[in-house]
Structure 1
Amino acid sequence: MGQVLDRFQDKQWRQSKIRKITDKAFESLKKEDETAHLTFEDLYIAVLLVYNDLNKHLPGPHFDPPSKDRVKQVMKECDVNPDGKIDRDEFYEFIKRMTEDTFTRISQGLIVTLVVAPMVALATMRAIEGLPGSIGKIAKKIPKSLYVSLVTLAIVALRNWLQRISYNN
């Protein structure tokens, strides 16, 4: 668990992964006949592709891509040499800005999963241990780590199931 949290906190590791993803996306969108620059249309396609991958691979609800107006606004902000085109380094900043709100929401979901769910599990275990009869005795015999893990997995599964239901409706 500590290794997972270290990975989320390691800014350099995250930036290198984002750089690798943006470089790959930049190369796939760059036209053969042009120099290393992307136009607005290319950038909007890149944003749609990035959000498609985010929705496929990351936990949490469906994230709608930003509007064309938002893409134009961020493009102007990231276009250091105002030529109306984005180069590789500008593209990296562009993607970071376009996805920062989404990653914040994903991080909040991970905090709920990794911190709040175990706390809820411990609180319910204490409540169950206080019940009279055999239920309380059984709860006292279950190792806390096993109980917390099972309840956390159940909460995550329930959350994912509810998100799939809301996404399909």
Structure 2
Amino acid sequence: MGGILATVQDKLHGRQWKEKQIRKITDRVFDHIKDDAASRDALTFEEVYISVLCVFNDINKHLPGPHHDPPSKEKLRSLMKEYDVNLDGLLDREEFTKFIRKLTNDTLSTVSLNLIIALVLAPAVALLTKRATEGVPGVGKVVQRLPSSVYASIITLGVIVIQKSSEGCE
């Protein structure tokens, strides 16, 4: 029972951490763009567009995985209308945070999935299948002589190489 509770708490803290990181990014970008803008405390469409480009640039620079293109201006315009609660044609800080959270949700899920596959699933599968290679002529003896940690690292590296090569094909 205690293990289940700890797992639930870890997931909640992970979600809180992710939300806090998104909030830091949106506040930093909002403040940067707002400083360059007029004295109002909200962003116009053009300022929102520049902000989205900055956010996606940071995502592509700092997170592993394929390059993620920002949405088109048309999609941004329709989303901005959806998140402009007070209908003034501008996004204030809270509206902007919700807007960016919606835009980056799919991107962050993709990055998380790729990391889980490469860093958790691949080594686990490698260790589970190590015994299955015993009967393979030539290969089985080599694999059995390798320490499990080295074998898992080789398989994980192979998975990462395959992920990288498939990114170039898209």
Q: TM-score, normalising length from structure 1?
A: 0.81
Displacement of 1:146 in angstroms is 2.5
Contact 1:8–1:14 (Cα < 8 Å) also in 2: no
Match of 1:98 among 103, 108, 114: 103
Contact 1:76–1:84 (Cα < 8 Å) also in 2: yes
2:149, 2:114 → 1: CA distance?
Answer: 22
| Alignment map for 1:1-169 (pairs within 5 Å) | 10-30=14-34, 31-122=36-127, 124-132=129-137, 135-160=139-164, 162-163=165-166, 165-166=168-169
Q: Could you list the runs of 5+ residues in structure 1 that have no partner in the other structure?
A: 1-5
2:145, 2:12 → 1: CA distance?
Answer: 35
Deviations 1:110-156 (A, max 9, x none): 232134322442355233222245x4333223222331122112321
Q: Could you list the runs of 5+ residues in structure 2 that have no partner in the other structure?
A: 1-9
C-alpha RMSD over aligned residues? 2.4
* Identity within the alignment, %: 48
What SS does the corresponding residue of 1:35 show, helix, strand or coil? coil
Count how many residue pairs are aligned between Structure 1 and Structure 2: 160
What SS does the corresponding residue of 2:130 show, helix, strand or coil? helix
1:77/1:64 Cα in 2 relative to 1: closer, same or farther (>3 Å)? Answer: same
What code does the residue aligned with 1:15 have? Answer: E
1:9, 1:117 → 2: CA distance?
Answer: 25
Displacement of 1:16 in angstroms is 1.0
1:132, 1:157 → 2: CA distance?
Answer: 26
